[in-house]
Chains A and B, each alone.
Chain A
Amino acid sequence: MSDEIDREESLDRELEARLGQALRTLPQRRAPATLESRVLDALARRAPVAWWRRSFAEWPAAARVAFGVTSTVLVVLTVLAAAAANANLGSFGAFHALSTPVVHDASVFFVIARTLGVSLAPILSSVWVLGFLIASAALYAALFGLAIAGYRTLYLNADPEVRS
């Protein structure tokens, strides 16, 4: 029994050596003539895409900083303008006197929010508000996670033949 196993192992080793030697004599496969042009075409298709059409992570650092600063300034200006308009809303007439649509809309939002806050403050305790905010954040995170899981399952891991 032991001799038979030894003989089998010996044959395995011999086959491994012979096959290894045989496979090493195989020349490299010649790449298709179309490969080089395919690669160059793929690279050429990438090149013309302007930086502002790529993802934000690939933008130049200066552009990203400028975008961030500009966005922040616009948000601050809008909030300040709306707050100023809201503070001056002593009379309904002043409310209608606002002619700029953006300031008008923002001031309406502030008025509604302030009215709601004043009305609901006695009813809702801070615990309820905090709970609501936490629940909203949790739901948002769950939805976000679900979307990522769906994207990975249905798109990234999909059969390429099906995808194409």
Chain B
Amino acid sequence: MRAYQDMVFSTAARLAGNDAQAEDVAQEVFIKAYENFDHLRLSATAGGWLKTVATNLSLNYLTRYRNRWRLFSESETVPDVALPDGALDSLNEEEQRAALEEALRRLPPHQRVPLVLYHFEDMSYEDIAAKLDISLAKVKTDIRRGRAALAPMLRLRGIGGVA
């Protein structure tokens, strides 16, 4: 469990955008792992299994609130996730990554979830649309808006090779 708990928690936290909910999801993931211990003990793909279960359980959790974030998705303005000018340059590399992580967390769910699935889970636009049961056009639009919201963070030194 110790070998995988950070990976499982990270997956859930980036999708849920909330540490308390991510901890609940991670707990559920490891209980399921315990129930399948005989199978996982000898499996070379236990990490992949845990990541998939963490992703699915996080999405299940978010599905409960889907109507809520669908409702706001059209009217919501792009959140201001950037730090004030000048503040970025004063951060060290670790702080800059923390700032990007925080900016990702502050994205609205309808932008953050497809963005995380695309960039962290390497899912295609089509797979994301199928997984979230939304149109392909909406997936592309939401991801593009999410990227635009995070774009100011790329000015940070040491992130993404942008000076």
- Could you list which residues of chain A lie within 8 angstroms of chain B, going by C-beta atoms? 12, 15-16, 18-32, 34-36, 38-39, 42-43, 157, 159-160
- Could you list which residues of chain B lie within 8 angstroms of chain A, going by C-beta atoms? 1-2, 5-10, 13-14, 19, 23, 26-27, 30-31, 34, 64, 97, 100-101, 104, 119-120, 144, 147-148, 150-151, 153-154, 159-162
The reply to whether B161 and A18 form a contact with Cβ atoms under 8 Å apart is yes
Question: Contacts A26-B101, A27-B97, A42-B31 known; A35 to B5 CB distance under 8 Å?
Answer: yes
Question: Contacts A35-B27, A159-B64 known; A23 to B147 CB distance under 8 Å?
Answer: no
Known: A15-B147, A32-B23. 18 other contacts (CB 8 A): A12-B147, A18-B154, A18-B162, A19-B119, A21-B161, A22-B153, A22-B162, A25-B97, A28-B6, A29-B10, A29-B101, A31-B9, A34-B23, A35-B30, A36-B1, A36-B5, A38-B27, A43-B34
Shortest Cβ distance from A15 into chain B, in angstroms?
Answer: 5
Give bound CA distance, A21 to B9, whole Å: 21
Tell me which residues across on chain A come within 8 A of B159, comparing CB atoms.
22, 25
Determine which of A23, A35, A157, A159 lies in contact with B120 in the assembled complex, contact meaning CB atoms within 8 Å: A23
Determine which of B23, B34, B104, B153 lies in contact with A35 in the assembled complex, contact meaning CB atoms within 8 Å: B23
**B116 — nearest CB in chain A belongs to which residue?**
A23
Shortest Cβ distance from B140 into chain A, in angstroms?
Answer: 10
Give bound CA distance, A32 to B26, whole Å: 10
Q: Is the interface of A mostly helix, strand, loop or mixed?
A: helix
Determine which of B2, B9, B160 lies in contact with A22 in the assembled complex, contact meaning CB atoms within 8 Å: B160
Q: Which of B27, B34, B162 has the most CB of A within 10 A?
A: B27
Tell me which residues across on chain B come within 8 A of A20, comparing CB atoms.
119
Shortest Cβ distance from B22 into chain A, in angstroms?
Answer: 8
Determine which of B6, B7, B154 lies in contact with A19 in the assembled complex, contact meaning CB atoms within 8 Å: B154
The reply to whether B151 and A19 form a contact with Cβ atoms under 8 Å apart is yes
Tell me which residues across on chain B come within 8 A of A31, comparing CB atoms.
5-6, 8-9, 23, 26
Give bound CA distance, A19 to B104, whole Å: 11
Tell me which residues across on chain B come within 8 A of A39, comparing CB atoms.
1, 27, 30-31, 34
The reply to whether A29 and B13 form a contact with Cβ atoms under 8 Å apart is yes
Determine which of A16, A25, A34, A159 lies in contact with B147 in the assembled complex, contact meaning CB atoms within 8 Å: A16
Shortest Cβ distance from B21 into chain A, in angstroms?
Answer: 9
The reply to whether A26 and B5 form a contact with Cβ atoms under 8 Å apart is no
**B34 — nearest CB in chain A belongs to which residue?**
A43
Give bound CA distance, A36 to B6, whole Å: 11
The reply to whether B147 and A36 form a contact with Cβ atoms under 8 Å apart is no
Shortest Cβ distance from A133 into chain B, in angstroms?
Answer: 42
Give bound CA distance, A26 to B102, whole Å: 11
Give bound CA distance, A43 to B63, whole Å: 26
Question: Contacts A21-B161, A35-B26 known; A43 to B31 CB distance under 8 Å?
Answer: yes
Tell me which residues across on chain A come within 8 A of B153, comparing CB atoms.
22
Tell me which residues across on chain B come within 8 A of A23, comparing CB atoms.
100, 104, 119-120
Tell me which residues across on chain A come within 8 A of B31, comparing CB atoms.
39, 42-43
Give bound CA distance, A31 to B6, whole Å: 5
Tell me which residues across on chain B come within 8 A of A43, comparing CB atoms.
31, 34
